[in-house]
A and B are shown apart, each in its own frame.
Chain A
Amino acid sequence: MSNAAPAAERLAPAETPFQQVWRAFRKDRLAVAGLYVLAALVVLALVGKLLTEWWVVFDPTTVRLPDKLRPPFSAPSAELLSAQRPTWGIYPFGTDELGRNVFARMLQGSFISLSVGIVAVSISLIIGVSLGGIAGFYGQRKWGPFSVDGLIMRFTDVVLCFPTFFLILTVVALLPPSIYNIMIVIGMTSWMSTARFVRAEFLSLRERDFVTAAHALGLPEWRIIFRHMVPNAMAPVLVSASIDVAYAILTESALSFLGFGVRPPFATWGNILADGRSYIFDAPWLFAIPGTAILIVVLAFNLVGEGLRDAMNPKLRKRAG
């Protein structure tokens, strides 16, 4: 690589934009810690799905009435049938009011929480980027007496005015309870800020020379929008997306806590927390464990999001470097 080109020609650093961001990101220790936590969570969620549903090592559904409300790290009582005994012969996170293994339930719930977060944010990104992109790109076009930009952005403002959580509650109450409905509803009520970001970026990108150049090459408009402009508009969107994942996980937990979420016996962090609230003094681990888990994951997503924001902002990057 380097011996092929004379050194004098290398005027600019041979570093991709991605490498630059990564270098700045690595300096933020909290964000890197958040990233490790998220990586661990992804592994945990996949392993959890595998070990609680497909190849049942930790059974989240076995009811052991003699062993109800055991504290963490307690051993099962001797009267249990061998089939009911927990793996490792211990309850790492204790048991709930039906004697179910909280550790197994948390594992099962981690997959739900993560997939709700990711799927809901993906949906909101698709809607937000499309609407924001169309508003920003075709803004000046008229549709009747209104401009396209005006119509889309005022619609965004209208959706933004709804108290989102109560809208979600209403929709979830009307729809059959299913994790997919929750993902879709959360996604469809959280795209507004993405749409605004993308529109703002598109308004400035549209006037940039490389977009004019792309037009001059005869590229079709959809290609200019999605291949040339969207990647250039993604920086602020990715930052808000990582924080939105945390918000979606919280929303799902809140819905499950209120009983509108995933139906029991299927465990999610939200409904473990909800079950635990009746035993808040007798069995504090029942709310402390899922509560802490939600806290850590939401914190990790926020830290990564803020780290990305700082790393992608060249002004902040210079100051830090």
Chain B
Amino acid sequence: MAASDHDSPTATAPLLSIRDLHVEFETDSGSVPAVRGVDLRIGAGETVALVGESGCGKSVTALAVMRLMTGRVAGGSIHFEGKDLARLPETEMRHVRGAQIGMIFQEPMTSLNPVFKIGQQIEEVLVLHQRLTPAAAQAQALDLLRRVGIPSPAERAEQYPHELSGGMKQRVMIAIAIACRPKLLIADEPTTALDVTIQAQIMDLLKSLKDELGMAVLLITHDLGVVAHFAERVDVMYAGKIVEHGSVRDIFKRPAHPYTRALLGGLPDATTVGHRLEAIPGRVPSPALLPPGCAFCARCKHAFEPCEPEQPPAFEIAGPHVAACWLHDPALKHAPR
């Protein structure tokens, strides 16, 4: 986790590089940290999954990249193609949103404006960011609808959102998000609200579009099955921090952080037939009442002396595979592995 390679945008610099991001929400009882020093990098054309339980700060991290959350960026930087999005003026930020970073949301049922036709909503972005004429935008919108696999696009373009099913709406949302050929697509739990057969279709569509357009994808999910099939690298997030980072292979074959292991233990597979699935005891600590040390400490069955008082830094396991857990501190040889 060398810091120096974030500073200058060179040819090898990642497309998106989040460094030590802190996000706080102001409440009546003081400011509550939702994201506490997240480091995240996405290279061009790469798919990175951000995994964690509800409320761990993964959606807030995504919204912070788009600068759409109600919270406040309290520290850190978000470099996208050399620009720090956390400090970009609002007018310039508008040209990044939609044009260079597309986003799709969890709830396709409510993410489209109910009073406009599907076609109009796609054309709007094209006219705004690409300065297309209305006629050209219309043609392009039909083309986009075809690309996201919507049958009889000319007819669908004339329909209102309430006339489409959830899967269709998510396809339309994807069409809008990729309309301006963004370099990065943020997919915030894109399949959570859909039923299982549609989920697979949507993920396949995202995958083929990603390859076709060469987009990078930041996939936010709590569905580890989706991660295994779709992502190249994984960041596991817990209580506002990244606790483990590695390739999909590292995370699934050699999970290093007890939290990641516990998450994977909660997944059913062929070997667990007939056994109880493992659940993680306790619950996610409230962001307002975080312990001084490792936030997972109270639920961790491997917790030992340094866990409670001190925050573990990110220890290298092997190459890019890192885990923020005292178990992997090379200095603590006595650590109970």
Contact = CB atoms under 8 A, between A and B. Distances in A.
Do A and B bind? yes
A5 B94 contact: no
A14 B128 contact: no
B182 to A, nearest CB: 10
Interface in A1-44: 1, 4-5, 9-14, 16-17
Contacts of A218: 93-99, 125, 128-129
A226 interface: no
A228 B113 CA distance: 7
B115 A215 contact: no
B112 interface: yes
Nearest to A214: B113
Q: How many interface residues does chain A have, given as a range? A: 20 to 34
A212 interface: yes
Contact of B155 (A1, A16, A17, A210): A1
Given A5-B152, A217-B98, A209 B105 contact: yes
Nearest to B100: A218
A10 B98 CA distance: 30
Most chain B beta carbons < 10 A, residue from A4, A215, A218, A232: A218
B162 A12 contact: yes
A14 B173 contact: no
A142 to B, nearest CB: 12
Contact of A212 (B68, B114, B124): B68
A220 B127 CA distance: 13
B324 interface: no
B176 interface: yes
Contacts of A12: 162-165
Contact of A209 (B99, B111, B155): B111
A14 B159 contact: yes
Contact of A216 (B68, B115, B160, B164): B68
B110 A208 contact: yes
A218 to B, nearest CB: 4
A209 B68 CA distance: 12
A212 B97 contact: no
A17 B115 contact: yes
B114 A216 contact: no
A307 B160 CA distance: 24
Interface string B137-178: 000000000000001100100011011110000000100100
Given A12-B162, A12-B163, A14-B163, A216 B112 contact: no
A244 B310 CA distance: 66
Interface in B61-113: 66, 68, 93-99, 102-103, 105, 107, 110-113
Contact of B124 (A9, A208, A219): A219
A231 interface: yes
Contacts of B124: 217, 219
Nearest to B163: A12
Contact of A232 (B98, B103, B113, B152): B113
Given A4-B155, A219-B124, A11 B113 contact: no
A17 B97 CA distance: 30
A296 B171 CA distance: 52
Interface string A211-248: 01111111110000000100110000000000000000
Contacts of A11: 163-165
A210 B120 CA distance: 14
A220 B93 CA distance: 10
Contacts of B113: 210, 214, 228, 232
Given A16-B160, A17-B160, A217 B114 contact: no
B66 A13 contact: no
A205 B111 CA distance: 12
Given A217-B125, A218-B94, A218-B99, A232 B107 contact: no
Given A9-B151, A218-B95, A17 B111 contact: no
Given A220-B94, A232-B113, A5 B165 contact: no
A75 B128 CA distance: 68
Contacts of B98: 216-219
Nearest to A16: B160
B115 A231 contact: yes
Most chain B beta carbons < 10 A, residue from A11, A13, A213: A213
A94 to B, nearest CB: 50
A217 B107 CA distance: 16
A216 B103 contact: yes
Interface string A251-293: 0000000000000000000000000000000000000000000
A213 B114 contact: no
A216 to B, nearest CB: 4
Contacts of A17: 114-115, 160, 162
Contacts of B68: 212, 215-216
A34 to B, nearest CB: 25
Most chain B beta carbons < 10 A, residue from A16, A209, A216, A231: A216
Contacts of B155: 1, 4-5
B151 A213 contact: no
B128 A212 contact: no
Contacts of A232: 113-115
A210 B105 CA distance: 9
A219 B179 CA distance: 14
7 contacts: A12-B163, A12-B164, A14-B163, A212-B68, A215-B97, A216-B66, A217-B125
Q: 10 nearest interchain CB pairs?
A: A218-B97, A218-B98, A217-B98, A209-B110, A216-B103, A209-B111, A218-B94, A12-B163, A213-B111, A231-B115
Interface of B: 66, 68, 93-99, 102-103, 105, 107, 110-116, 124-125, 128-129, 151-152, 155, 159-160, 162-165, 173, 176
Given A215-B66, A215-B68, 4 more contacts: A13-B163, A17-B160, A216-B102, A228-B113
